[in-house]
């Protein structure tokens, strides 16, 4: 019997302490945790990409609307600028019709009430 005990102790030295199930379980738990963290991180990247895509679409819509309004305002401004230039040229040409500030025989620089009094004086003096 003592020989069997002795042989068992020698066998234990040769084989080591046996399988360490505790460290195997610990490693498994650590790997499962790392896998879970990697999955959560991947999901967060996917969610972030979706949010960024939605933001890009909304940004493009707003930018397009703003550019459209700007183009409309520029076209309207250009139209009024050319209209103002045309009217300015036409009104400038009207002054040249009768020679300076007179249109025909009418003096446009003297108020009408003064023109009437001078006409009345000349009428009274010539009558």
Domains of the chain: which residue ranges?
2-94, 97-127
Yes or no: say if 69 and 63 are a contact pair by the CB < 8 Å rule. no
The tens digit of pLDDT for each residue in 67-124 reads 989 988 888 888 777 777 777 766 665 555 544 455 556 566 666 656 555 555 555 5
Q: How far apart are CA 86 and CA 120, in angstroms?
A: 39
Average pLDDT of 58-64? 93
- How much is the pLDDT for 61? 93
Q: How far apart are CA 105 and CA 24, in angstroms?
A: 117
Within 1-127, where are the H helices?
2-15, 21-94, 112-126
């Amino acid at each position: 019997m003592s020989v069997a005990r002795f042989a068992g102790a020698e066998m234990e030295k040769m084989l080591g302490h046996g399988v360490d199930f505790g460290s195997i379980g610990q490693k498994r738990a650590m790997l499962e945790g790392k896998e879970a963290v990697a999955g959560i991180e991947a999901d967060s990247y996917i969610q972030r990409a979706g949010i960024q895509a939605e933001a890009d679409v909304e940004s493009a819509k707003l930018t397009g609307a703003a550019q459209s309004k700007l183009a409309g305002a520029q076209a309207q401004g250009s139209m009024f600028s050319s209209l103002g230039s045309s009217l300015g040229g036409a009104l400038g040409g009207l002054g040249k019709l009768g020679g300076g500030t007179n249109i025909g025989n009418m003096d446009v620089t003297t108020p009408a009430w003064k023109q009437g009094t001078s006409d009345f004086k000349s009428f009274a003096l010539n009558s």
